[in-house]
């Protein structure tokens, strides 16, 4: 197995392929076509900003994966994938955004050449990067094949991280620490939010030592005051003000691996209700970490946290965490296991989650979160090392 410029060892890619093929066999699939950029990278090492056009990875039960995409991007595939050049395929540029032809016509040709004209092929139907038109064209072009829904089949194989992956996440965690500390240190009344975000980006991209920073899958989320009652607002040009809380939902990124970390800063003297909520939140996080043990379930983490909130008279709905690892925009979650009451995924050593028990109240928001690693024994490890508290700056 050639290694090329891909970031992991040949043994690591062999492990991933074997896991995926076992899942394919269990699902009765002869082949899969994956379009999720994270799954493409996980299987092949491909890394490029080309997911705005049709591209993907074909994996059968034998041989190396095949990367397929726009011809100009096949050059990048040759630079980043571990496979032999014979497994990299590029389609002509006249397929791009054409009204008279579609890239799936070229993909169908490749699949026929691979002997899959009558195969059972899994596709990621619930995916940002696989359109309804793509599915319709591929179905029409392969009338003898069966296209089955294989959404998240590869994602679930990514849930337990290898030692090599955990090392990358630890590098991402170091960068997360740096950018969150930068955000807290720089925050002050009068500072325009866009200028603060510029400092955050600089800290994240310069990285820490040899751990250089990559672009995160989600842009900095830095709302203040009433805007912090919403979960996913970004930034504007308004100045920071006394009497407002600002939460920072950020992540360092190293070789596409993430370790999200959130902290909140209050400029001025926090109201009593904010301090009371902080106390409950920190207590709840500690309870959740204690429940995050191998053999327990993801719902046990959520239930432990929510029980603390109820004792403090705080009402909260929704999940409070999700699996993380390798990701591309628009999301740094893996879209598999969630930390919520109805999810009974059994925790295994090597699983990594963003434990995200944020509080969004009527007039303010409070985010204090941790990226966690399930260990062989004992409570989960928090990958980042930033004091777990509300940061108050007079």
pLDDT at residue 4, as a whole number = 65
pLDDT at residue 197, as a whole number = 98
Residue 5: which pLDDT band, with cuts at 50, 70 and 90?
confident
- The residue among 360, 373, 362 whose CA lies nearest residue 264 is 360
Task: Check pLDDT > 70 for residue 266.
Answer: yes
Task: Check pLDDT > 90 for residue 155.
Answer: yes
Q: What is the C-alpha separation between 272 and 267, in angstroms, rounded?
A: 14
Going along the chain from its start, the domains and CATH numbers come out as: 10-157 (3.40.350.10), 163-393 (3.90.230.10)
Chain mean pLDDT for the chain: 97
Q: Return the structure tokens found at 146.
A: 């069966």
Distances (CA, A) of 105 to 277, 345, 358: 56, 39, 45
Rounded to two decimals, what is the model's pTM? 0.96
Q: Tell me the average pLDDT across 206-220.
A: 98
Q: Quote the percentage of the chain above a pLDDT of 90.
A: 98
Q: Tell me the average pLDDT across 123-148.
A: 97
pLDDT at residue 394, as a whole number = 85
The neighbour count for residue 238, using CB atoms within 10 Å, is: 12
Task: Check pLDDT > 90 for residue 3.
Answer: no
Task: Check pLDDT > 60 for residue 1.
Answer: no
């Amino acid at each position: 197995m050639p290694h090329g410029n891909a970031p992991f060892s040949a043994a690591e890619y062999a492990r991933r392929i074997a896991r995926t093929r076992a899942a394919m066999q269990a699902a009765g699939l002869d082949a899969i076509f994956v379009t999720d950029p994270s799954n493409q990278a996980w299987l092949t090492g491909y890394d490029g900003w080309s997911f705005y056009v049709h591209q993907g990875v074909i994996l059968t039960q034998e041989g190396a994966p095949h990367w397929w995409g726009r011809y100009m991007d096949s050059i990048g595939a040759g630079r980043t994938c571990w496979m032999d050049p014979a497994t990299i395929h590029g389609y002509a540029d006249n397929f791009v955004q054409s009204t008279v032809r579609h890239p799936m016509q070229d993909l169908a040709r490749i699949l026929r050449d691979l002997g899959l004209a009558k195969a059972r092929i899994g596709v990621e139907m619930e995916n940002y990067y696989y359109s309804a038109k793509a599915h319709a064209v591929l179905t029409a072009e392969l009338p003898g094949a069966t296209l089955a829904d294989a959404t998240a089949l590869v994602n679930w194989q990514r849930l337990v991280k290898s030692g090599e992956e955990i090392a990358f996440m630890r590098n991402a965690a170091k960068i997360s620490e740096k950018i969150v500390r930068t955000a807290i240190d720089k925050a002050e009344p009068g500072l325009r939010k866009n200028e603060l975000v510029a400092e955050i980006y600089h800290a994240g991209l310069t990285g820490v030592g040899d751990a250089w920073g990559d672009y995160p899958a989600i842009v900095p989320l830095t709302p203040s005051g009433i805007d912090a009652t919403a979960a996913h607002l970004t930034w504007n040009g308004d100045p920071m003000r006394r009497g407002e809380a600002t939460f920072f939902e950020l992540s360092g990124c190293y070789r596409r691996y993430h370790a999200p970390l959130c902290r909140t800063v209050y400029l001025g003297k926090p109201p009593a209700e904010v301090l009371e909520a902080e106390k409950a939140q920190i207590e709840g996080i500690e309870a959740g970490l204690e429940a995050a043990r191998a053999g327990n379930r993801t719902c046990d983490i959520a239930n432990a946290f929510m029980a603390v909130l109820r004792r403090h008279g705080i009402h909260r709905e929704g999940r409070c965490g999700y699996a993380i690892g390798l990701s591309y925009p628009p999301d740094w979650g893996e879209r598999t296991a969630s930390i919520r009451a109805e999810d009974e995924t059994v925790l295994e050593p090597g699983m990594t989650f963003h434990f995200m028990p944020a509080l969004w109240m009527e007039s303010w928001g409070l985010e204090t979160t941790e990226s966690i690693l399930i260990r062989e024994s004992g409570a989960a490890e928090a990958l980042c090392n930033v004091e777990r508290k509300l940061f108050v700056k007079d």
